[in-house]
Amino acid sequence: MHELSLAGGIVKLVEDAAARDHFKRVSQLRLEAGALSGVEVRALRFALDAVAPGTCLEGAAIEIEEPPGQAWCLRCAQTVEIASRTDACPHCGGHQIQPTGGTELRVLELLVHDD
């Protein structure tokens, strides 16, 4: 389950930010895990809950947004929404598509406290 490794990386990123920006705890963490990111959101949430105790994320509300995948269809010359990297273009049925969005896993926002 690579989500456990991702959760550890997110905790490290937040702990590094806490050391750099002098905050003690996070009350809200907002993440984005796109449909094409390869991240199982339920597993990531479980992993974050497992690794958060004892860190500045302990007790934080965790929100994970799941934007849809987007791709550029070379045949149609337009942006289309896809659910998987193996999907065909919903307009022309072609497979000449290049993912352009929904591939990221990133921290969008932290609500932090000094106490």
Within-domain flag for 90: no
Chain segment 96-108, per-residue pLDDT in tens? 999 999 999 999 9
- pLDDT of the residue at 21: 94
Within-domain flag for 39: yes
- pLDDT of the residue at 45: 96
Domain count, the chain: 1
Cα(81)–Cα(74) distance, integer angstroms: 14
Within-domain flag for 82: no
Is residue 94 a contact partner of residue 76, using CB atoms and an 8 Å limit? yes
Within-domain flag for 87: no
Instruction: Give me the domain span that covers residue 22.
Output: 2-67+102-113
Average pLDDT over residues 23-49: 96
Using the predicted structure, report yes or no on whether residue 1 has a pLDDT greater than 70.
Answer: no
Within-domain flag for 51: yes
Cα(79)–Cα(86) distance, integer angstroms: 16
Chain segment 55-68, per-residue pLDDT in tens? 999 999 999 999 99
